[in-house]
Every structure is written in structure tokens, then in C-alpha cells.
Amino acid sequence: MTEAPKTKIISRTVEFEGWHKLETIVVQHASLRHDGHVDPIKREMYFCGTAVVTLLYQPETDQILLNEQFRIGAFMAGEPNPWLYECCAGMIDAGEEPEEAARREAVEETGCHILDLEFICKVYTSPGGTDEKYMLYCGRIDKAEAGHFGVAEEGEEIRTHLIPAAEAIHLLDTGKILNSGTIMCLQWFARNHDRLRKKWSQK
């Protein structure tokens, strides 16, 4: 006999489709209590896609490059300063590999070219209601300057900041970094700082 699927989609209704898509979905998933399925559950699902987030690091000077830009989500949540410090990030285009997207976004948002990449992890940002997924990396850059970047037709206005690694970690530890992908990247970087600087400074 064929094993019953662990999750069955009963219905899907598109409620809105714009920059992202919102659907109402009814599903039945396998129970953790017994061998059958739970009763149908209805959830609103926000489809955002997959983004790449890259912490840009210059080992020769031991500096990190962070973007500063306005975020409407922080603004609407009442954040007093919705201009957040963030890693370079962007959506992965159709047919594009995550590492290709990381390199493209670095040029668009910071003017920097990534020389080496190290994969950090894959993470679902809020799996209870969205499919949004981050592919996190740390990238080695050789030349960087603070300045203004971004793709104007996409509404991007980005100011970049070259920050000593120790200061960036201090911003993390004191709660000054509010973007989730950036927090995860910096936490990983703090644990791998010495190894990474030694590895990339030899190149």
C-alpha cells in the first residue's frame, strides 16, 4: 500500500498578488499524537521567496561593510529610527544561484566585488505564516568605500558604512542591530572572526 501523504492541501485561495502574494490555504498534516492526520487548519500564507544575505568583510583592515536604509516594516511597527543597519541583501532572481545573487547584490548595493564566499546557513524567517527564506553568507571584499548606492528604479537609497569588526560586534551586543539576517550573520562572524581573518588575509 502507498503511504498517505504527510500533508494534504485541501484548498488554496489567492487573496492578493503584488510585490508578494497572499493566499488562504487549508491543509491537513500528519499528527504527532497518532498515526492519522489532524483536523483541517486554515492559514494565511505570505509568499515572499528566497533572499540572499551577505556580510561583507575586509580582512586586511578588519572592517565590515554595513548598509543603512529606510525599512517600512520597522517604521510601521513604531521603531523610532527605521533607518536600519543591515548586511547586503536581496532577492534571488529566477534561474539565479544564491552565490550569483550575492555577488550581484554586493555590486548594486555597495559597489564592492566579492572575492570569496563562505556559506553560513539557510533559515526560514517566520515559517508560521510566510515562505520567506534567507541564504546567509560571509563575503571577502578587497576595496570598499563608504558612500551612497542602490538601484534607484527599485526605490533603493542606501548609505554604506565601513565599521571595525569589533565595533560591529559591539553594535550587535548592545542591541543596535535590529535586522534579523544581519544579527544572525554577525553572531556567526563573532564566532568565526579569528579563523576567517587568518584564512582570508593569506590570500
The 10s digit of each residue's pLDDT in 20-60 is: 999 999 999 999 899 899 999 999 999 999 999 999 999 99
Q: How many Cβ atoms are within 10 Å of 133's Cβ, its own excluded? A: 16
CB 141 within 8 A of CB 103: no
Q: How confident is the model at residue 102 (pLDDT cuts 50, 70, 90)?
A: very high
pLDDT for residue 4: 56
pLDDT for residue 201: 87
Catalytic residue among 97, 105, 153, 154: 154
pLDDT(63) > 70: yes
Whether 108 is catalytic is: no
Q: How confident is the model at residue 199 (pLDDT cuts 50, 70, 90)?
A: very high
Distance CA 10, CA 28 (A): 7
Q: How confident is the model at residue 108 (pLDDT cuts 50, 70, 90)?
A: very high
pLDDT(1) > 60: no
CB-based contacts of 164, cutoff 8 Å, min separation 6 = 62, 63, 64
Residue type, 35: D
pLDDT for residue 2: 45
Can you tell me whether residue 183 is helix, strand or coil? helix
- 3-12, 43-52, 147-156, 170-179: least confidently modelled range: 147-156
